[in-house]
A and B are shown apart, each in its own frame.
Chain A
Amino acid sequence: MKPAPFDYVRPDTLAEACALLAGDEDARLIAGGQTLVPMLAMRLARPARLIDILRLPELAGIRQEKDAVVVGATTRQAHAERDPVIRASVPMLARVLPWVGHPPTRNRGTVGGSIANADPSAEIPLAAVTLGAEIMLATPDGPTSMPADDFFIGPMLTTIGLGECVRAIRFPVWPQPRIGVGFFEISARRSDFAFVAAAAQVALDEEGRCLDVALGVGGVGDRPVRLDVASLVGTELDAASIVEAVNASSNDIEAMSDLHASAAYRRRVAVTLCVRALEEARANASAKPAKGAR
């Protein structure tokens, strides 16, 4: 399984890379290559030219801003997994990363690569959509950004156009002191594409009432979706409220059927995992000390 021939170029700057990309319909970007190279090997993708962006300084680094953490597109998944800033400020991302592929694929695979690949069951896009992250793009007309919700438009499909490149992902940081995340996924084997994945984040006040909540599912339909469980704000996230909110929000979930799981299974288990993710998030948040705790 050898790829079709291609040229390889490694520009020194992002601007150069985008210019090359914009000028050539048959060019593709390569960073970690963990999803692109298998496609090349099977000749499902046949670019005439690969533009290597893995070492571009503009795409590297993890930056803490006031209310967000900006993760450079070429951040390796393994580095993100161990990064203390992400662990402290974007706990959902830290929580899902160990489930992405295998340790060796995380050593090369990038956060931006997973976002650009847009696999419907991928964990990083799920975290991005659930948290309402922004995808920051480099385009021929200059940098732009868009909500993750709008960026993913179908299975392996994003709004990325000719000459465009993911620069970074801006993950919002929640200000509350008592935050907890929950995450569950189910797959045939531990490291396979998930049939269903659910990610949740909650913030509690000192009395344990919900101040904010975010919930998303992946692997069920053709892209990760955020579910509207805003009705849980103000509640104590008791089991009944959680179940009611999840049921109400998941009525319209589109589910796909394939060799590995039926649509009925996906829809049903999505509800189960959403409930469990919220419960885990609540439990984790409850374990955090309240502000001014004795």
Chain B
Amino acid sequence: MKVDLRINGASRSADIEPRKTLLDALRENFLLNGAHAGCEHGVCGACTVLIDGEPVRSCLMFAVQADGYEITTIEGVAPAPGELSVIQDAFCETHGLQCGYCTPGMILAAHALLQHTITPTREDIVEAISGNICRCTGYGQIIEAVQFAADRLRKANTPRPHHGADQPVEAE
């Protein structure tokens, strides 16, 4: 079936069989290898992408279902080749990763959180990444990375497009 997707702000099309997951399509048809297969049954979160800014397991969607959304993969997070976003840089600063396999999914989950929540508590962060399993880090330095990024984004007065009306903005 012909599938028209919006990925990282660009329109991409391919002929994809219905049973092919969005994860496999991203990797094989669109050569975006940042989303990873860890379990293919929706538990580990290594396949996480953003659908309209919200984290979703791409192994639990078929490519044929994914039209009409803005899909963001890890490749769409860096502002330019060789440059890191604030959150990516924060993960480097605190060493919030080791093998890197869960990392794209983890960063996208954190990215989505920080679009909604200016001053996340530790509990907020734990909940936001609870769907992403890491076997390397024990999560400590990942949580530190998100706290560090939240702090930098807040101090830089960064606009958040998805900041919800029901979330009070913290006075600084």
Contact = CB atoms under 8 A, between A and B. Distances in A.
Interface of A: 1-8, 30, 33-34, 37-38, 40-42, 50, 52, 54-55, 78, 82, 101-105, 107-108, 190-191
A53 to B, nearest CB: 11
13 contacts: A3-B19, A6-B18, A33-B60, A33-B61, A41-B59, A55-B68, A82-B164, A102-B130, A103-B109, A104-B48, A104-B56, A108-B56, A191-B131
B91 to A, nearest CB: 19
B64 A8 contact: yes
B109 A104 contact: yes
Interface in B98-144: 109, 127-128, 130-131
B21 to A, nearest CB: 8
Contacts of B21: 37
A42 B127 CA distance: 28
Nearest to A189: B130
Contacts of A37: 21, 41-42, 59-62
A73 B55 CA distance: 21
Contacts, number: 83
Interface size class of B (residues with CB under 8 A): 20 to 34
B1 A34 contact: no
A98 to B, nearest CB: 8
B164 to A, nearest CB: 8
A103 B42 contact: no
A6 B19 contact: yes
Q: Which 3 A-B pairs have the closest CB atoms?
A: A102-B131, A8-B18, A38-B41
B116 to A, nearest CB: 10
A8 B42 CA distance: 21
Contact of A1 (B20, B40, B131): B40
B54 A107 contact: yes
Contact of A103 (B41, B51, B59, B130): B130
Interface string B40-80: 11100100100100111101111011001000000000000
Contact of B57 (A78, A105, A190, A191): A105
A111 B17 CA distance: 28
A101 B57 CA distance: 12
A104 B65 contact: no
Nearest to A76: B54
Nearest to A4: B19
A191 B18 CA distance: 30
Nearest to B37: A1
B130 A2 contact: no
Contact of B55 (A5, A8, A52, A104): A104
Given A2-B19, A30-B65, 17 more contacts: A1-B40, A2-B24, A3-B19, A5-B17, A5-B18, A8-B64, A34-B42, A34-B60, A37-B21, A37-B41, A38-B41, A38-B42, A41-B41, A82-B166, A101-B131, A104-B56, A107-B51
A4 B55 CA distance: 26
Contacts of B62: 8, 33, 37, 50
Contacts of A103: 55, 109, 127-128, 130-131
Contacts of B68: 55
Given A38-B41, A82-B166, A5 B54 contact: no
Nearest to A1: B40
A4 B20 CA distance: 10
Contacts of B166: 82
Contacts of A107: 51, 54-56
- Name which of A37, A50, A82 has the most chain B CB atoms within 10 A of its CB: A37
A7 B19 CA distance: 8
Given A7-B18, A38-B42, A108 B127 contact: no
A50 B130 CA distance: 30
